[in-house]
Amino acid sequence: MPALSTVLATALGRHPRFAGVQPAALEKLPQKGIAHIHFRVHGFEFDGHRPLLRVPKLSQFALSPKNNLIHQAACFSRAADSGHCPRLHDVLPPSAELPMGVLIVDEIAGVPIDPSQHMSAVAQCLAQVHALPMPPPAARPPLADHGDPVAGIMAFIEEQAQFVAPSVADPEARREIIDELDWARRFAAKAAGQTQPRSLVLTDTHPGNYLIDEKAQVWFVDLEKALYGSPAVDLAHASLFTSTTWDIAANGELSAAQVRQFYADYLALLPAEKSAALRPWLLAMRRLTWLRTTTWSCKWAARTHAVQAARQKTEPLSEEETILQRHIENRLVNFTVLSTVQRCRAEWLGPDRLDLEAI
């Protein structure tokens, strides 16, 4: 079977903007996540950016290859006008040689962020994305549209909650997570019908999905899970302990003061009316976002790991992929250990709880 770079070069060479491209022009980048492989394309440039090939390995929403490509293309296209996300140039449709297709996007010349230093720039990135105008309802598909953001995030939580009991061995940690589920259900019932600010949101906003360039501008580069919902979810997922310790390269722990400053920096960039409307939702949506992440880790442990283990019997992992997988497994286990659960819950239950509404 030809090397992936050869397959990609052949398919790319049929595109009018890449005539004559050779496999040697494609440089495979280090593996960052579980869902994509990325190739830098040398010798070509679009408005100051080198093209990047984003090759899906799987759909995290279980979409068909065609629909996965359509969905990701919409995510890139709608976020690009923020000036903080890569532009989409084209897609190569799924084929026998490339069963998941390819997205051609801008490569962002930057390095991973340091959560202890760059959260103010992350706040600016998110504020610019959230400031994009909402299209009319009929134009929002294929992106999900959470008219009720609490109900939207609860749908993820409830689907994943069934995996808590079989995945969390420590009875005390399991009890605390179940307590959070009980609170979430009560809150969702109380919040039903209430409105909060909505926008295009990026959803998977952990620090590993950003790069910072030489001008100190932060870019969000993993546009796979965008939807229309609450910007408070993006703020939470960018700054929770479970997020800032997720990525190998963009890793760090934020103090309570740093978390408050991040929220303050973000709110200062909004019109006064919007920041006032968002403040009452910040802590509750942070709590729900933590629960979404934690129950997702339980689902991953119960299902996805078993699937990947079976796949490895026929597709051995490279050393790079093995290191990445071990890191992911270690982080997911850590999500549900009692000390992590209690550390995160202290943000809204402890004597030093985050008073985000007062920022």
Query: What confidence tens digit (pLDDT) does each residue in 241-286 have?
Result: 999 999 999 999 999 999 999 999 999 999 999 999 999 999 999 9
pLDDT of residue 307: 47
Q: Is 99 helix (H, G, I), strand (E, B) or coil?
A: coil
Can you list the domains of the chain with their CATH numbers? Answer: 4-107 (3.30.200.20), 112-358 (3.90.1200.10)
Query: What confidence tens digit (pLDDT) does each residue in 86-134 have?
Result: 999 999 999 999 999 999 999 999 999 999 999 999 999 999 999 999 9
Is residue 185 over pLDDT 70?
Answer: yes
Query: What confidence tens digit (pLDDT) does each residue in 123-175 have?
Result: 999 999 999 999 999 999 999 999 999 999 999 999 999 999 999 999 999 99
Assign 28 a pLDDT band (cuts: 50, 70, 90). very high
Is residue 50 over pLDDT 70?
Answer: yes
Assign 315 a pLDDT band (cuts: 50, 70, 90). low
Predicted TM-score of the model (pTM): 0.94
How would you label 284-304 residue by residue, b for 16+ Cβ within 10 Å and e otherwise?
Answer: bbbbbbbbbbbbbbbbbbbeb
Please state which of the ranges 88-92, 235-239, 297-301 shows the lowest mean pLDDT. 297-301
pLDDT of residue 191: 97
Could you tell me which of 1, 17, 21 has the C-alpha nearest to residue 9?
Answer: 21
Q: Mean pLDDT over residues 34-52, rounded?
A: 93
Q: Mean pLDDT over residues 200-223, rounded?
A: 97
Is residue 312 over pLDDT 50?
Answer: no
pLDDT of residue 305: 52
Return the higher-pLDDT residue of 279 and 315.
279
Sign of CA dihedral 298, 296, 257, 247: positive
SS3 per-residue string spanning 161-229: HCCHHHHCCCHHHHHHHHHHHHHHHHHHHHHCCCCCCCEEECCCCCHHHEEECCCCCEEECCCCCCEEE
pLDDT of residue 301: 84
Rounded Cα distance between 39 and 51, Å, is: 9
